[in-house]
């Protein structure tokens, strides 16, 4: 694992975007695994700037997102499809047919999970997977558990995750309690994994995840077993390592 220390959020975002940009330049038809949340917003902003300068071409890129809330339509401004459209997709020359997010409105959860697993297989796997890191160690919506979930599944969100996400909703009662998420095995099969983290509230979990025991109680700890992981964090997030 490689760790890149950034002085602040902006530098963290720039370093992460440079790594993703390098992947796109080296393999124009690459498959990017994408994440949502507040942490990667700056990274996406940097990628948009790269495209606007003429340095990046997303026309052949394909994407698969980690997760989506169950019950939210793509038009809902809190859905992850909406997030991706607003923060990246509609600002670059990517073909929307080449972007994939779980269907939050799927009535048959098991069938939707199987469909999404097949999407990833049909794409030939993920070249670079971008991850954020939850304060409880979740990656995607793989929450602390007694075992590592393997492939796409429907998860019941923990109260800590609901609380953390409530800042994005008008009321905590509006935060969905279920989500579709890519599983640990799907994430671990990515050829390269890029983790971004900022803020001192991530310092404890970074120490546990990357320097503690590998355990499903800290889902991100499994990343210690991957051969090509890069962690980019600001000084506050990396303050305890």
Catalytic residues: 67, 136, 138, 143
User: What CA–CA distance (Å, rounded) separates 180 from 79?
Assistant: 12
Residue 28, token pair as written in the block = 């124009």
**C-alpha atoms less than 13 angstroms from C-alpha of 143 in its C-beta half-sphere:** 14
Q: Residues near 191 by Cβ (< 8 Å), separated by ≥ 6? A: 125, 126, 127, 128, 228
CB-CB contact of 87 with 41 (8 Å):
yes
User: What CA–CA distance (Å, rounded) separates 67 from 182?
Assistant: 6
CB-CB contact of 21 with 50 (8 Å):
yes
């Amino acid at each position: 694992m490689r760790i890149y220390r950034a002085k602040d959020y902006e530098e963290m975002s720039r370093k992460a975007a440079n790594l993703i940009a390098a992947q796109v330049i080296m393999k124009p038809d690459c498959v990017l695994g994408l994440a949502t949340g507040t942490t990667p917003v700056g990274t996406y902003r940097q990628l948009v700037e790269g495209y606007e300068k003429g340095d990046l071409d997303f026309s052949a890129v394909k994407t698969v997102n980690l997760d989506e809330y169950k019950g939210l339509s793509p038009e809902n401004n809190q859905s992850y499809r909406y997030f991706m459209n607003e923060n990246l997709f509609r600002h670059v020359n990517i073909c929307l047919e080449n972007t994939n997010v779980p269907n939050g409105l799927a009535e048959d959860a098991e069938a939707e999970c199987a469909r999404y697993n097949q999407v990833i297989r049909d794409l030939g796997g993920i070249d670079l997977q971008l991850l954020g890191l939850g304060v409880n160690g979740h990656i995607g919506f793989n929450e602390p558990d007694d075992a590592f979930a393997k492939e796409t599944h429907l998860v019941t969100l923990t109260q800590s995750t609901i609380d953390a996400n409530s800042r994005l909703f008008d009321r905590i009662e509006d935060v969905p309690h279920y989500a579709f998420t890519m599983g640990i095995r799907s994430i671990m099969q990515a050829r390269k994994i890029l983790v971004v983290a900022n803020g001192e509230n991530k310092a404890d979990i970074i120490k546990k995840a990357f320097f503690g025991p590998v355990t499903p109680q800290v889902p991100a700890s499994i990343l210690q077993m991957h051969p090509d992981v890069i962690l980019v964090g600001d000084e506050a997030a990396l303050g305890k390592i």
